[in-house]
Amino acid sequence: MVAIHALNSYEKGSTLCCDAVRNDGIHLAIDTHCGPVEGPPADVNSGLLALETYTTIVSFGDSYTAGGNADGGPLKPPVLTGDSPKAGGRTTNGPVWNEDIANDTGALYMDYAIGGAVTDATLWPSKANASDFVHQVELFLSQNHVLDPSTTLYTVFFGINDISASKTDGPANAPRAAQVVLDQIALLASPPTNAVSFLVADDYGRGSVVAAGETYKNAVFAGLNDMQTERGADAFKYAFVDFKYIWSGVLGADPGFAAFGYNSPGACAVNSSSVQGACDDPDHTFYWIPGHPSKQTHRIMGDYTELVLEQC
């Protein structure tokens, strides 16, 4: 796998480190957390093939996966222009994590993600005008793509905005939000798309743990296993990647942000509107825009995902 080979000091099963040149020295300082498909959420790969097998990656999600063009078409170059802190429309200063994976493998990247998206906006009064997974899938299906199920990987990243909304609207709909994720995946896995391979990633709490978020994540994780049991391992393949370990590793004391190569666990840009007032060292901050990963963090999110698929 291209990105795995680029980790110069990588040894399977050991803490990861890399040289000071790649990714501005920002590197993984934690191992993957592989676990069984039955049990509490863990990093798992239940049938996905080597990433280079997939020639197309279709992405659904929120600002952590949004490339700035949410209709599946080509993205603008991931570079900053003018006063905007959004590189080609992304809520970061470079490529997003699954875009990095597509670049590693040479896959066509089709992005439907939109910043602020939830699973289903009807569940959350405070997010009534937000994009959601339901409408992202609806748009994708309306385009009548003919994609080879054996070489197409569908990535799904939701939860941050749902759990944020639950703090305002109440946690009762957290299980329903999880069911929406499973229902939309089931829709994609049915005719005419007949999708087979899904990568579901989670970072709902960005290092924090709350009851509604755990309810949501547990339901998604268990539901994926149930879906594979019902459909068969050849007809439904999935991986689950939990980014909470990066967040807790950087924002907590063990091992702490410096172990990853960061000079700061905070953000460089002051807000999402302008680069005015941004920090002097954007290459070594965990976040670029407050609450949103820097391009270096997106890169190690991609690295972590690739390791999960190989090791778990």
* Nearest by Cα to 89 from 103, 69, 61, 73: 69
Q: Look up residue 79 and give its amino acid.
A: V
- Amino acid identity for residue 272 in this structure: S
Asked if residue 149 has pLDDT above 60, the reply is yes
Q: What's the pLDDT at 20?
A: 58
Report residue 15's pLDDT band, with 50, 70 and 90 as the boundaries.
very low
Q: Does 121 score more than 70 pLDDT?
A: yes
**Contact present, 129 and 116 (Cβ < 8 Å):** no
Burial class (CB in 10 A: 0-12, 13-18, 19+), 108: middle
Residues 167-194: tens digit of each pLDDT = 999 999 999 999 999 999 999 999 999 9
Mean predicted confidence (pLDDT) in 160-168: 98
Question: Containing domain of residue 256, as a range?
Answer: 2-311
Please check the confidence at residue 251 and state whether its pLDDT lies above 60.
yes
CB-based burial, 145-170: b 16+ in 10 Å, e otherwise: eebeeeebbbbbbbbbbbbbbbeeee
Q: How confident is the model at residue 21 (pLDDT cuts 50, 70, 90)?
A: confident
The encoded tokens of residue 34 equal 């592989």
> Is residue 1 predicted with pLDDT exceeding 50?
no
- pLDDT score of 16 more than 60: no
Residue % of the chain over a pLDDT of 90 = 93
For residue 145, give the 3-state DSSP assignment.
coil
| Number of domains, the chain | 1
CATH number for position 245: 3.40.50.1110
